[in-house]
Amino acid sequence: MAATFSFGVDYYPEQWPEERWALDARLMAEAGINTVRLAEFGWAKMEPDPGLFNFGWLDRAIEILAAQNIQIVLGTPTASAPPWLYQRHPDAFRVLESGDRQTYGHRRYNCPNHPAYREYSMRITTRMAEHFAQHPAVIGWQIDNEFAQGDRCCCPICTKRFQDWLKKRYHNLKNLNECWGTAFWSHGYSEWSQIPAPLKTAGSPNPGLMLDYLRFSSDSYVDFQREQVKILRKRCPSHLITHNMMGFGFNQLDNFQMARDLDFVSWDCYLHTQWDVDRQVHPHDIALSHAAMRGLKQKNFWVIEQQVGLSGWEIVGKMVRPGQTRLWAYQSIAHGADGILFFRWRSARFGTEQYWHGILNHHGQTGRFYAEIQQMGRELQSLAAEVSGSSVPSQVAIIQCYDSRFAFQIQANHKDFTYTGHINQIYQAFHAQNIAVDVISPHVDLSKYQLVIAPALHVLPAAVAERLESYVASGGVLVITPRSGVKDEANAIVDLPLPGLLARLCGVEILEYIPLYDQVSQVLSLEPGAPDLLPLVANLWCEVLQPTTAQVVTRYSEDYFKGQAAITMNRYQNGRVITVGTFGQPDLYTALLPWLCELASVQPILKAPTGVEVTLRQKNQTDYLFLLNHTAQDQTVMLDAAYTDLITEEHNIKQQISLDPYGVAVLRKK
């Protein structure tokens, strides 16, 4: 980790007087910073007029940083094209789902498929790659910036591309018309060119068309990124390539596809922004994003933008208390980050992000945030070498399926249901018990997991159903939740009893499904002989399960479906499948957890008080425990063995360890 752990900042020398740069670089070095990201919004500085390139300022900035032994990650600057580009190509603005064309003044205003935008993007990428390929301080690249932002483009260029994309997928219109069911409402297309982009001005779309448009839109960005990756791979073969994703919450892109072309995943980790002032962001929310980002390539990642302080544009986000910046950065490492870059070095005096505060304040002074990061820099001196190369083991996986995620964006099924909220509900139960969870694609090997949860696996290809079947057949424990197996890949409802391709595996048929509204819920009654569980409460959605081969675990206790099965367990070859018929109240999986863990022989890493998060990283049979106190109180954690505290360097800690408010301990077993 000493060699491989990147500890740094995002820095915008172009926003500050050149005479300040040396002081900034020295202050960085004094804080233990070894990595800086540069230039991802510097296009207009690098190419002030079309075809006129100027890398001098960037060369000088890199020299000054390199002189402090700081290594550089360069951003390709295509997230914000210069004004001259939009002036030359007014149709490069994307068309929003409202049908309005975006206008100039922000960033990411472009249609990702606009030919001139793509051409200019490839040219600046090529020129940067050529210019910096041999620079000893440059270690890698971030492609563009936060692709997932904002609306999808629905412009005529995208519409045409979409039609071409459909031709590849469906080959002929007859097939497309059948798959989408265009017999409904007389939508039968007689020419490809009739197929529209789904604008809001159309009204509720055909679900098949809509799902394909979401896939196509995601593919457009995957494709755009790949073009840049190819340029960089060719010219800078030794450089690392990443992109800064946005965690679990953003809906636009299939991040599994996005991750495929990258060396590793990065993401931008913010807890308290202006968009969060009316809600609580919990440690498990961030932990879930880490798990989801780690799951994209099933390997470690970077946090390339780690929140420092108050974060907002028009308004200032919630306070960041002393210790929290360091705590959150350690949480990132605890979940598998091998790089942490703080956003941003110094608060901007100008622009939309004036209130997205950095380590230094607007007038360039150091303060409590600098001190905290400097402390962490010191701690990492010894820590890094130990933890370097370790990974985050997990016995449990949650399957995230982008087709299902997109499908629920189109049809939520219940007004209070979201796919991401459902995954969060399940993840949270494991997190509260300090049980590590991977959030993975439905297309990866499941055999390494003892417990797999496949929440609301709505769009279900046969290959995935088969994968789940093999997993269970070989002894796995699988949990299936409502609305699984409902849709085929064209977003049509299957011509099968539900849960469709999973019915045999689950050993049930769903007789009917019943949405609950008006705050109605009901307690489930445990079947005699069922495990002794906390009260389980049905909520939002009830599926009436008719067991074929499964045993009943709980039944509904009210209304006309009283007495019908709500949760079942099916033995299938060497494994078991639990079918949960209700989305339940938020704590449903908290109540189910002891039973599920017992079935799958899953253990917590360590028991800890509420608010103290424990994670494990492992290397060469050595366990590294991260203890993170997210509370404002002192906390004591009972230990199960003897440990060395890698921060305090205290050895042979046995019974217990004490954590300060927002405090952190990193323990090596023995």
3-state secondary structure of 461: coil
**What is the rounded CA–CA span in Å between residue 283 and residue 368?**
22
Six-digit token string for 425: 């509900």
Q: Does 473 bind its own copies (CB under 8 A)?
A: no
Instruction: Decide whether 151 or 623 has the Cβ nearer to its own copies.
Output: 151
Residue from 5, 11, 43, 120 that binds its own copies (CB under 8 A)? Answer: 43
Stretch touching its own copies by CB under 8 A, among 36-44, 226-234, 262-270, 395-403 = 36-44
Instruction: Decide whether 559 or 640 has the Cβ nearer to its own copies.
Output: 559
Instruction: Decide whether 322 or 475 has the Cβ nearer to its own copies.
Output: 322
Q: Is 25 within 8 Å of 367 (Cβ atoms)?
A: no
Question: Max Cα separation, the chain?
Answer: 78
Binding map of its own copies across residues 55-94, x = CB under 8 A, - = no contact? ----------------------x--xxxxx-xx-------
CB of 522 to its own copies, least distance (A): 12
**What is the rounded CA–CA span in Å between residue 569 and residue 579?**
6
Instruction: Decide whether 182 or 585 has the Cβ nearer to its own copies.
Output: 182
Q: Is 433 within 8 Å of 422 (Cβ atoms)?
A: no
Instruction: Quickly list H helices, 13-77.
Output: 21-30, 43-46, 56-66
| Catalytic-role residue among 47, 146, 379, 386 | 146
Instruction: Decide whether 519 or 656 has the Cβ nearer to its own copies.
Output: 519
Residue from 54, 172, 175, 193 that binds its own copies (CB under 8 A)? Answer: 193
- AA identity, residue 221: Y
**Is 178 among the residues known to form the active site?**
no
CB of 413 to its own copies, least distance (A): 6
Q: Does 461 bind its own copies (CB under 8 A)?
A: no
Q: Is 35 within 8 Å of 379 (Cβ atoms)?
A: no
Instruction: Decide whether 237 or 560 has the Cβ nearer to its own copies.
Output: 560
Which 522-561 residues touch its own copies, going by CB under 8 A?
Answer: 559-560
Which 574-603 residues touch its own copies, going by CB under 8 A?
Answer: none
Instruction: Decide whether 48 or 249 has the Cβ nearer to its own copies.
Output: 48
Q: Does 192 bind its own copies (CB under 8 A)?
A: no
The site that binds its own copies (CB under 8 A) totals a number of residues, namely 109
**What is the rounded CA–CA span in Å between residue 104 and residue 108?**
10
Q: Is 456 within 8 Å of 499 (Cβ atoms)?
A: no
Residue from 319, 529, 649, 656 that binds its own copies (CB under 8 A)? Answer: 319
Instruction: Decide whether 422 or 617 has the Cβ nearer to its own copies.
Output: 422
Instruction: Decide whether 60 or 349 has the Cβ nearer to its own copies.
Output: 349
Q: Does 229 bind its own copies (CB under 8 A)?
A: no
Residue from 89, 107, 160, 297 that binds its own copies (CB under 8 A)? Answer: 107
Binding map of its own copies across residues 396-425, x = CB under 8 A, - = no contact? --------------xxxxxx----------
Taking the mean position of all CA atoms in its chain, how far away is CA 143? 17
In DSSP notation, 331-345 reads: HHHHTTEEEEEEE-S
Q: Is 319 within 8 Å of 272 (Cβ atoms)?
A: yes
Binding map of its own copies across residues 294-313, x = CB under 8 A, - = no contact? ----------------x--x
**What is the rounded CA–CA span in Å between residue 317 and residue 328?**
16
Q: Is 464 within 8 Å of 457 (Cβ atoms)?
A: yes
CB of 518 to its own copies, least distance (A): 8
Q: Does 237 bind its own copies (CB under 8 A)?
A: no
Instruction: Decide whether 374 or 546 has the Cβ nearer to its own copies.
Output: 546
Q: Is 200 within 8 Å of 99 (Cβ atoms)?
A: yes
Q: Does 363 bind its own copies (CB under 8 A)?
A: yes
Which 493-512 residues touch its own copies, going by CB under 8 A?
Answer: 493-497, 511-512
Question: Rounded to the nearest 5°, which phi and psi values hold at 67?
Answer: -65, -20
Residue from 37, 45, 152, 239 that binds its own copies (CB under 8 A)? Answer: 45
Edge-first strand order for the sheet with 622-629 is 612-619, 622-629, 664-669, 643-645
Q: Is 418 within 8 Å of 406 (Cβ atoms)?
A: no
Q: How many residues does the chain have?
A: 670
Binding map of its own copies across residues 274-293, x = CB under 8 A, - = no contact? x--xx-x-------------
Instruction: Decide whether 147 or 427 has the Cβ nearer to its own copies.
Output: 147
Cβ neighbours for 521, distance < 8 A, ≥ 6 positions apart: 537, 538, 539, 585
β-strand partners of 340: 7, 303
Stretch touching its own copies by CB under 8 A, among 236-244, 376-384, 489-497, 649-657 = 489-497
CB of 660 to its own copies, least distance (A): 13
Residue from 515, 547, 594, 604 that binds its own copies (CB under 8 A)? Answer: 515
Q: Does 19 bind its own copies (CB under 8 A)?
A: no
**What is the rounded CA–CA span in Å between residue 143 and residue 267?**
12
Residue from 194, 474, 574, 601 that binds its own copies (CB under 8 A)? Answer: 194
Residue from 53, 66, 160, 205 that binds its own copies (CB under 8 A)? Answer: 205
| Catalytic-role residue among 47, 305, 379, 613 | 305
CB of 139 to its own copies, least distance (A): 23
CA-based nearest residue to 241, from 264, 222, 257, 258:
264
Residue from 33, 36, 148, 209 that binds its own copies (CB under 8 A)? Answer: 209
**What is the rounded CA–CA span in Å between residue 544 and residue 414?**
16
CB of 655 to its own copies, least distance (A): 30
Binding map of its own copies across residues 137-176, x = CB under 8 A, - = no contact? -------------x--------------------------
- Which of left, alpha, beta for 132 (phi over 0: left; psi -120 to 50: alpha)? alpha
Angle between helices 324-334 and 283-297 (to 10 degrees): 30
Stretch touching its own copies by CB under 8 A, among 63-71, 342-350, 609-617, 621-629 = 342-350
Q: Does 365 bind its own copies (CB under 8 A)?
A: yes
In DSSP notation, 143-211 reads: -SS-TT-SPPP--HHHHHHHHHHHHHHHSSHHHHHHHHTTTGGG---SSGGGPPP--GGG-SPPHHHHH
CB of 220 to its own copies, least distance (A): 20
The H or E element spanning position 267 is strand 266-269
Instruction: Decide whether 188 or 594 has the Cβ nearer to its own copies.
Output: 188
**Is 509 among the residues known to form the active site?**
no
Binding map of its own copies across residues 120-139, x = CB under 8 A, - = no contact? --------------------
Q: Does 263 bind its own copies (CB under 8 A)?
A: no
C-alpha pair distances (Å), 299 with each of 37, 259, 289, 394, 538: 22, 11, 14, 12, 36
C-alpha pair distances (Å), 67 with each of 39, 74, 459, 597: 18, 17, 54, 53
Active-site residues, by number, are 146, 305
